[in-house]
Amino acid sequence: MGPHDELAFTAHWAAHDLGEVVVSAADLRERIAELGQAISRDYDGHPPLLVCVLKGAINFMSDLMRAIELPVEVEFMAVSSYGAATKTSGVVRIVKDLDVDIADRDVLIVEDVVDSGLTLNYLRQYLGARSPASLEVCALLLKEGEQRVEQDLKYVGFSIGPAFVVGYGLDVSERYRNLDGIYTYVGEA
């Protein structure tokens, strides 16, 4: 199977904007199962509140919570630092806040991709001010060499290069979220 054979079955409508497969659907399933096992082991006896960072982490969150063998609870936040661009602006805006009190709770932020780290750093400070018992991060993707802020990530799915990627929740102007795998984006921004 070549790099675009997977596209022939799932995303012929997007093939002209997609480059190579960065993470296949099969690799996503396998790694998320491993992350679920690690989280289940680490949080045994005190299930975390999973905080999904919308919209990019929605696919990851859905699969991850099913891989965790604990009675987890879920919450959602929406933050914006990109707009319609493919590079972060560095200005973070809370679009949707949590609906629950996280004081004295074990909180696990579920993030799609960490690149500059500025958004995640802001989010950690923002949530940390609410006195959770613990605050950790599970990131699907870590873009190597892109961090402007030192990151301490407890769980990372995959380390990838600096290319802009789409699929499996990641988008450009709300498109490509429904792809099963993660691909480089070669279309126009």
- ∠ Cα 163 137 108 (to 5°): 140
Count CB atoms within 10 A of the CB of residue 149: 13
Q: Write out the two tokens for 76.
A: 């959602």
User: Cis omega before residue 154 (within 30°)?
Assistant: no
Which residues are registered as beta bridge partners of 26? none
Question: Which strands, in side-by-side order, build the sheet including 155-160?
Answer: 93-96, 73-80, 49-54, 106-114, 134-143, 155-160
Concerning whether 5 is annotated as a catalytic residue, the answer is no
Q: Rounded distance, CA 62 to CA 68, Å?
A: 11
Active-site residue (options: 115, 152, 171, 180): 115
The residues assigned a catalytic role are: 115
